[in-house]
Structure formats: structure tokens, C-alpha cells
Amino acid sequence: MKKITLLTLSVLWALACSRPASEPVPSPNILFILADDWSYPFASIYGDTLLRTPNLDRLAKTGVVFTHAFCASPSCTPSRSAILTGKYPHNLGEGVNLVGKLDTAEITYVDLLQKHGYAVGFDRKGWAPGKFEKMGYQENPSGHRQEFKAFVDSIGPDKPFCFWWGTNDPHRPYDRGHGTRTGIDSTKLSVPPFLPDVPDVRGDLADYFAEIERIDQEIGELLKKLTDEGLLENTMIVITGDNGMPFPHAKANLYDYGTRVPLLISFPKRFKQNVRSETFVNLIDLAPTFLDIAKVSVQHKMDGLSLVPLLTANKTRHREEVYLERERHCMCRKNELGYPGYPMRAIRTKDYLYIQNLRPERTPAGDATIPGTPSEYGDVDGGPTKAYMMEHAQDEKIKSFFAMGFEKRPPEELYDVKADPFNLNNLAQSAQHTSTKQNLQARLSKWMQETNDPRRNGGGDEIDRYPTYDKAWITKWSIIFFDE
């Protein structure tokens, strides 16, 4: 019996020694879903009872929903460049403007993941708008373009992937009346108080809602593909928008409806589940988060901060404030510098939004007319809402709305975001808020100095001289958006 026991133990020991100490942990996949012009709080996960977004609801139960996520800049190209690099737009040279340049010297999370064995791809709208071919790129900086299902089928089962799925929804133009046809009752939706409550605007918002619902439906298709291929469990899913809604007082502005975006992160294998976080997040934090979860070390400076400690541990705070910026959106002003933008900088805390309009002599929405172009107030996307407001700009009931969305602004703006969530009542000249304004002013100035913002100390005119790299795009969208 003793000999048998010793023999058995010897065999078991040999078998144990012949196996690896632990199975290698597979690198996680990353599915990044980026909507175009999607403002917070337009989703059922944020309490909107009119919007039907069941797939977001499903993912919210297995992930973290952020209530204070902000884009770095409320304009497509700089926002997407900032996401790719983890840098503030003003640190990207010509990448700070719409249809600007993302220099090939900039290191993106896509570059690093690919070098570390990831398959990288994108579909629909990636880094855009702009001409990446003119900048030395062979492919879009977001990855190799391929439809998601075909992409998944083309890679080996053991190869990790990072895929950027960039829907064009809910960007304009809309199929007018589509919202009503899909069952959205425009009489029941809430009109933000910076827009006139009229049928044209309600119908426009219903069409916007319909595009958000379509995003949710397509997310369901992406989830099904992951499930069918057995990939869902090992895939980190991140869903957000590049900037706010394409309406006056929103997109291309530093007000909350221009910069505050939905953000949902689901990876139940590793992250917290069914959690709502109120901490501040800037979308520049996504690049270091993707690299962190993939265990790729970063050897260069990023402005973003990884969210992984917040998502995995008992940590509940990430940022106490976010800093926001905006330069040239569209070519809709003309002066001795060429086609300058409307530079703005801001700090957003849990209590206040403080904005500096650095060239207040310019019109924030663009000039009423630009010789040789079809644009009218070109920084506001065209559509029924803009058309109505322009047509009725002199009506007594519409004047105040038109002023908020189109007319010149003072050098400073200050909003109590708890009492005034739509940023309507400027407190910058209120004696009661002098100390608050001075505190925020000092913090914003310190950030501009520490991050080497070209606009610090009154500079930055070189930004207005940067070229536009896709004039055909400008012409195309000027006709569609600005001449309706």
C-alpha cells in the first residue's frame, strides 16, 4: 500500500510540474462606439422616458454610467484627435481646428495597440473631417477601414482587437418627419429653454431622437455579433459622443449642451457593474484607459488620465473639474487673419461653468454672410430649428433665443450649473459672485500656462492662420447645413 501511495504521489507531482503555473490571461478586446453630435442627457439611462434605448439600458446594468463626461472640444476634428492622442487639442498644433491636421508625429492609442499585437479597425466615421492622405497617413488614424462583422471574421480567435465604430448619427441632415414616423410624440418631449418651443423645433428634436434610437438598435447588432462569436465576455465596450447636439447654444459652444456627452463603459469581467458615477471625465482620458487595460506602457506625455483605477477599485473620484476649449469650427468669419475662429476656454466644476471668450469682437456663430460662400452664421448647423430662428429673429418672442444662439457675447460668462443647468443667466458681472469668478479665472489661467496653451497671455493668432485641409468638405457641408 505504501509503495502504491508513493507511486501515485510521484505521478501526480510529475503531472503538476508539466503544466504551466497559470494559464495566460488573454488581452481584452476593445469596442469603442462613438456617436456624432450626441448630447447628455439624451438616453433612457439618464432618465429620458421618451427615448427608447434598451441596449444602453442592458449595458448600464453591467457597467458604469458617467453623468459628467465632457469632450475636450465641441467640434468633430479636434475632439476626435484629442480622443486618439489623449492630448488637449491646443497641444496638437493644427489639429486644434475643424478640418485641421493630425500630424503623423503624434502618437495615438491605435498606433501603440497595433505595435503590441492588436488588430485595429474602424467603420463609418473615424478621425474626421479632414484629408489624412495629405498628412502622410496611408489609412485613417482610427485604423483599417472595414465593416465590423467582416473585421471580426477576418482576425484569428486568439488575436485581441480594438475597433472604432463611428456612427454618423445623430449628425445632420435629418429625414424631416422621421421621428414622428418612428413613433416619437413631439408634443411630449421637453424643449431645452435655449430653444423656442414651436412645432418646427419640436419636430426637429423628434428627428434627432429618432437617430439616437437608431444608434441603440445598431449597438444591439454589434452586441449580437460579439455574443455569437463568444467574444462579449472579454470585450471592453465604451460608448460616448464626440460633442453636443447640432442646435444653437449647443454644438461648437462651451455650454453644457455643446460639451457634456453620454459615457457608458461595460466590462463586467473586470469592472464595476450597475454603477453611476458623478466624477468628472474628459474624453482625453479614453486613450490612456485603453492602453492601461491592454497593459501597454506609455512612454510619452499624455494629458489624459486612465479611468481603470476608478473602474476596478473602490476609488470614486477621478477629476474635480474639466477644462474645455474651442477654436475655428467652420470658415464663417473673414478678417485680416484669413478665416479666424472664435477662441474660447472654460473650466467646469460641480457648481459652476466659467467661460472666457478670447475674441469677443467676433460673432460666436459666424458672420451673417461671408462673400463668396453660402454660409450664414455657419457655426450653427442648418435645419428647421436654425431656419425658424433666423426667419423669426425680429419677432418679440424669438429675439432672446436668437441672441443666445447667434449674437456677440461678453468676454466672460459665469453660470451656476445647479440653479441654471441650461446656462442662460450669466453671473459674470454679479458682485455676489466676484470671488467665485476670480477663483475660476485663476484656475483656468494656471491650466493654460501649465499646458502651454498658445492662447495664454493673449497670444494664439497663429491658430487663426492655420489652413483648412479639405475645402471640398467645407463647401459640401456649407451648402447642406448653412443654406437651408
pLDDT tens-digit readout, 334-347: 888 888 999 999 99
pLDDT tens digits, 193-235: 999 999 999 999 999 999 999 999 999 999 999 999 999 999 9
For residue 314, what pLDDT is reported? 81
Tell me what percent of the residues of the chain surpass a pLDDT of 70.
91
Which residues neighbour 199 within 8 Å (Cβ) at sequence distance 6 or greater?
186
pLDDT band at 382 (very low <50, low <70, confident <90, very high): very high
What does the pLDDT look like over 232-264, one tens digit per residue?
Answer: 999 999 999 999 999 999 999 999 999 999 999
Q: Which tens digits make up the pLDDT trace of 435-458?
A: 999 999 999 999 999 999 999 999
pLDDT tens digit string along 123-135?
999 999 988 888 8
Question: In this structure, are residues 287 and 81 in contact, taking their beta carbons and an 8 Å threshold?
Answer: no
Cell numbers for 400:
432672446
Distance separating alpha carbons of residues 218 and 222, to the nearest angstrom: 6
Q: What is the 3-state composition of the chain as percent helix, strand, coil, each rounded to the nearest 5? A: 35, 15, 50
Find, among 107, 155, 140, the residue nearest to 34 by Cα: 140
pLDDT for the residue 13: 44
pTM: 0.93
Dihedral of CA atoms 402, 405, 407, 409 in degrees, nearest 10, equals: 130
By CB neighbour count within 10 A (0-12 exposed, 13-18 middle, 19+ buried), where does 413 fall? buried
CATH 3.40.720.10 in the chain, residue ranges: 29-322
pLDDT digits (tens, 9 = 90+) for 68-116: 999 999 999 999 999 999 999 999 999 999 999 999 999 999 999 999 9
- Give the pLDDT of residue 409: 98
Residues of CATH 3.30.1120.10 domain(s) within the chain? 325-482
- Separation of alpha carbons 317 and 314, rounded Å: 9
Question: What would be the CATH architecture of the domain defined by 325-482?
Answer: 2-Layer Sandwich (3.30)
The domain made up of 29-322 has a fold known as Alkaline Phosphatase, subunit A (3.40.720)
Q: What angle do CA 286, 213, 74 make, to 5 degrees?
A: 40
Q: Shortest CA distance to 134 belongs to which of 102, 181, 160, 98? A: 102
> Among the listed ranges 402-411, 432-441, 465-474, which one has the minimum average pLDDT value?
465-474
pLDDT band at residue 313 using 50, 70 and 90 as cut-offs: confident
pLDDT at 352 over 50: yes
Task: Report yes or no: 304 and 286 within 8 Å, Cβ to Cβ.
Answer: yes
